[in-house]
Amino acid sequence: AQSVAQPEDQVNVAEGNPLTVKCTYSVSGNPYLFWYVQYPNRGLQFLLKYITGDNLVKGSYGFEAEFNKSQTSFHLKKPSALVSDSALYFCAVRDRASGTYKYIFGTGTRLKVLA
C-alpha cells in the first residue's frame, strides 16, 4: 500500500538553528513530492515540490528539501529557523502513474521554534 510517513509528531528547535522535518514515502515508481505548511485554523500553503532533476529543491520562505531516492525520503530543511516558522508541516506525494491529482498526505509534523 502506498503511504507517507512523518515519523515525528513534533520537532522543537531553537531560533537560528537549522531545522529538519522528516518524510519518507512508499509509493511505486517515481512520485511527485510536495511540502505544505499549515498555520492554525488555516488551509495548506504550498512550500516546494520535487519533480525531477536536482535532488535539492528550494522553496518559499527559505525552505528547501532533499530528495533521496535510495532512502525514499524527502526531508524538509531550513538553515536558520525563525519563530514564525512554527506551524504544522505536511509532506505529500502524488503517484505519477495514477493519472490522478490525489495526494497521499503524511500525518503532519508540528514545528515549534523557540525564541
Site for another protein in 42-101 (CB under 8 A): 42-46, 49, 51, 88, 90, 94, 96, 99-101
Residue 32 in the binding site for another protein (CB under 8 A): yes
Query: Residue 29 Cβ, how far from another protein at the closest point, in Å?
Result: 12
Site size toward another protein (CB under 8 A) is 26
Give the contacts of 88 (CB within 8 A, at least 6 positions apart). 37, 38, 39, 108, 109, 110, 111
Q: What is the DSSP letter of 84?
A: G
Q: In whole angstroms, what is the distance from residue 26 CA to residue 3 CA?
A: 5
Among 13, 108, 111, 113, binds another protein (CB under 8 A): 108
Nearest C-alpha neighbor of 46 from the set 110, 7, 103, 98? 103
Residues in the site for another protein, rule: CB under 8 A?
A: 9, 32, 34, 36, 41-46, 49, 51, 88, 90, 94, 96, 99-103, 105-108, 110
